[in-house]
Amino acid sequence: MEQKNVGKEGVPPVSILVSVPKKRFRHAVDRNRMKRLVREAYRTNKHVLWNTLEGKDYRLAVAFVCITDELPSFYSVNKSMKKALARIADKLNQEAS
């Protein structure tokens, strides 16, 4: 099975890092839950960024750092992820022009 939008070396055009500080979430269960929410929100919306990078000859490394003290719902994480990825895609389009 062939993967779409994978570069010449078989490496995706975007790699992500998700960081949830222990200072914000004391319990590992909560940190892991937050990381899962962020990864799922990215997975469902990564096409926004991947479509922008299609045909370009560079890759991105994106870090998502949690700065909230309470565990949000998936709806709010997904909404924030869409907004963040759209801003990154807009910035990439501006640089290309």
Domain ranges of the chain: 14-96
Phi, psi of 96 (to 5 degrees): -75, -25
Q: How is domain 14-96 classified at the architecture level of CATH?
A: 2-Layer Sandwich (3.30)
Cβ neighbours for 34, distance < 8 A, ≥ 6 positions apart: 20, 25, 66, 71
Tokens of 19: 């960081």
Per-residue confidence in pLDDT tens, the chain, 97 aa: 445 666 566 788 999 999 999 999 999 999 999 999 999 999 999 999 999 998 888 899 999 999 999 999 999 999 999 999 999 999 998 887 7
pTM: 0.86
